[in-house]
Amino acid sequence: MIRLFLLLLSFFIASGLYANSEILKRAQKQVQSGSASEIFRAYNDYKSLYLHSVVEDDSELKAQCLDGIVKSGNKLHIDVTKYEAELKSLPKISYIQPEPKANKVTKRLEDIHVEVLAKLKSTSWRGETLLIEFDKSISSDQINYFTLHDSKKKKFRYVFDIKTSMLTSSQNINNNQIEKIKIAQFNPNTLRLVIENNSLIKVAYNVDNSTLEIALNDDGASRIVEKKREEKVTRSNKSKVVVIDPGHGGTDPGAIGHKGYREKIVVFNISKELENILKSRGHTVLMTRKDDTFVKLSRRTQFANDKKADIFVSIHANAVPAAKAGNVHGIECYFLSPSRSERAKRAAAQENSADMSDMNMYGKDSYLNLLNHHNILASNKLAIDLQRGMLGILNKKYSGIKDGGVREGPFWVLVGAQMPSVLVEVGFISHPKEAERLVNSDYVKMMARGLADGIERYFVNN
């Protein structure tokens, strides 16, 4: 089965427009660019070429690809240990291109960003309208606007994510009427503007060539709103359908951890928080279970397919036997692939064991037939965004958060999903410290916010 998969892939590559050397050259540039999406493209190119090298038995190409997979994978926090091990096992190689010198990298970085994206030039006020000016024209497609309401802290946040190039440092923009306005780099190609206030304000925006106009609280806002109504509505199609799948439930408690905490309860609470946040951002959110009931694994993806979901996110918590409980912790994201690494097999065996009857539906190995190359890549991307989202936010407040990486594995609950699908292991409930965090409501909220941010980032970039 794997052989067929490899042959298909190699055919796909051989019939492509680029010769191998061209792909390698391009991938090398992408890794140096520093942009996450470019590095990800390179990572996938290296992986495809690697499979090609295996089929063709081309050891030189294999070494170059393994080197590329390890370099790009490390930058993306993807688990590349098996590729690293294979690279080390190869005979001493001299044809791997040396690391470019530092000044060369800097130059490339500038070239790429200037070419592709607009840069922030200045910010100013025209009455109650905030003008964000860029060095070249931008389009409304580059802007993702959403609002957040924290009812406990009585905070209203109006957030603009703008696709632009790097800003060096964050800055505050002063206005007597509004509590706080801050602009900062959210990720390598997203600039985030947050308007925060303790009471509701009227916000409207408009893109005029190279300027983003944001009107706050005065007549300007209603004028812009009127203008927006006349334009074709482009925002509504940003609203997506997300299916959240809280693992286990009912008679299946999932893993039982420290102090008897149950996986089914922990993951349900996180799923509920995530549901609320995504709904507040205007997405349609559906849960595979609304309470503590048992749902068969195959029903879960079937539900997502029936609802024509854009993505499927299954939430789980991990556990190890008591003897190891104090040593093993960390957050991991899995996407479905034919990979049979020991670690993936172990994690999958645990999650799969809940409902063995479903396995017969697919046969022992035939589920590989259902895997769709495009879906694997998209799921891989989604997993990276989710992993980053969680780590990014949790690291700000908590110490010792462990990045378990993005991994691939044969998870039955993801089989048959017709959309990008990811299984999140939010942590080990067998680990005393991590378990206590997983039942702490502040930690749960932050974890959910991280997942929501990751989902948002995935939608913005794909």
State the nearest-atom distance from the C-beta of 211 to Zn ion, in Å.
49
Applying CB under 5 A, the span of 151-159, 249-257, 288-296, 399-407 interacting with Zn ion comes to 249-257
Please give the full DSSP string across 344-408, using - where no structure is assigned: HHHHHHHHHGGGTHHHHHH-SSGGGGG--HHHHHHHHHHHHHHHHHHHHHHHHH-SS--EEEEEE
Residue type, 114: V
> Toward Zn ion, which CB reaches closer, 161 or 245?
245
Beta bridge partners of 215: 129, 204
State the nearest-atom distance from the C-beta of 314 to Zn ion, in Å.
8
State the nearest-atom distance from the C-beta of 266 to Zn ion, in Å.
10
Binding mask 351-390 for Zn ion (x = CB under 5 A): x---------------------------------------
Using CB under 5 A as the binding rule, whether residue 249 contacts Zn ion is answered as no
Using CB under 5 A as the binding rule, whether residue 437 contacts Zn ion is answered as no
- Closest-by-Cβ residue to Zn ion is 316
> Toward Zn ion, which CB reaches closer, 295 or 460?
295
Dist. CA 316–CA 333, nearest whole Å: 10
State the nearest-atom distance from the C-beta of 309 to Zn ion, in Å.
20
State the nearest-atom distance from the C-beta of 70 to Zn ion, in Å.
30
Using CB under 5 A as the binding rule, whether residue 404 contacts Zn ion is answered as no
Q: Is 19 helix (H, G, I), strand (E, B) or coil?
A: coil
Name residue, tokens 């009912």.
250
Applying CB under 5 A, the span of 15-23, 275-283, 327-335, 345-353 interacting with Zn ion comes to 345-353
Dist. CA 89–CA 69, nearest whole Å: 15
Residue 297: closest CA among 354, 219, 251, 379: 354
> Toward Zn ion, which CB reaches closer, 50 or 411?
411
Applying CB under 5 A, the span of 15-23, 240-248, 297-305, 338-346 interacting with Zn ion comes to 240-248
CA-CA-CA-CA torsion sign (25, 27, 31, 36)? positive
Residues 34, 246, 247, 257: which binds Zn ion (CB under 5 A)? Answer: 247
Residue 241 CB partners (closer than 8 Å, separation 6+) = 283, 284, 285, 286, 307, 308, 309, 310
> Toward Zn ion, which CB reaches closer, 6 or 256?
256
Using CB under 5 A as the binding rule, whether residue 34 contacts Zn ion is answered as no
> Toward Zn ion, which CB reaches closer, 355 or 385?
355
Residue numbers 313-342 binding Zn ion by CB under 5 A: 316
Residue numbers 109-148 binding Zn ion by CB under 5 A: none
Structure tokens at 387: 């992993």
Contact yes or no for 289/295 (Cβ under 8 A): yes
State the nearest-atom distance from the C-beta of 291 to Zn ion, in Å.
17
Contact yes or no for 4/12 (Cβ under 8 A): no
Applying CB under 5 A, the span of 177-185, 207-215, 224-232, 343-351 interacting with Zn ion comes to 343-351
> Toward Zn ion, which CB reaches closer, 316 or 445?
316
Dist. CA 315–CA 292, nearest whole Å: 14
Environment class of 127 (CB within 10 Å of its CB; exposed 0-12, middle 13-18, buried 19+): exposed
> Toward Zn ion, which CB reaches closer, 45 or 355?
355
> Toward Zn ion, which CB reaches closer, 45 or 252?
252
Structure tokens at 231: 């334009």
State the nearest-atom distance from the C-beta of 147 to Zn ion, in Å.
33
> Toward Zn ion, which CB reaches closer, 187 or 379?
379
The C-alpha angle with vertex 147 and arms to 142 and 148, in degrees rounded to 5, equals 135
Residue 290: closest CA among 304, 272, 277, 305: 272
> Toward Zn ion, which CB reaches closer, 283 or 437?
437
> Toward Zn ion, which CB reaches closer, 45 or 408?
408
State the nearest-atom distance from the C-beta of 298 to Zn ion, in Å.
16
Using CB under 5 A as the binding rule, whether residue 68 contacts Zn ion is answered as no
Dist. CA 104–CA 83, nearest whole Å: 27
**φ, ψ of residue 283 in degrees (nearest 5):** -90, 155
State the nearest-atom distance from the C-beta of 359 to Zn ion, in Å.
16
> Toward Zn ion, which CB reaches closer, 239 or 350?
350
Contact yes or no for 200/156 (Cβ under 8 A): yes
State the nearest-atom distance from the C-beta of 255 to Zn ion, in Å.
6
Applying CB under 5 A, the span of 86-94, 155-163, 275-283, 344-352 interacting with Zn ion comes to 344-352
State how far Cα 300 lies from the chain centre. 21
Residue 166: closest CA among 144, 182, 183, 147: 183
Residues 68, 73, 249, 254: which binds Zn ion (CB under 5 A)? Answer: 254
State the nearest-atom distance from the C-beta of 257 to Zn ion, in Å.
11
Please give the residue ranges that form the binding site for Zn ion (CB under 5 A): 247, 254, 316, 351
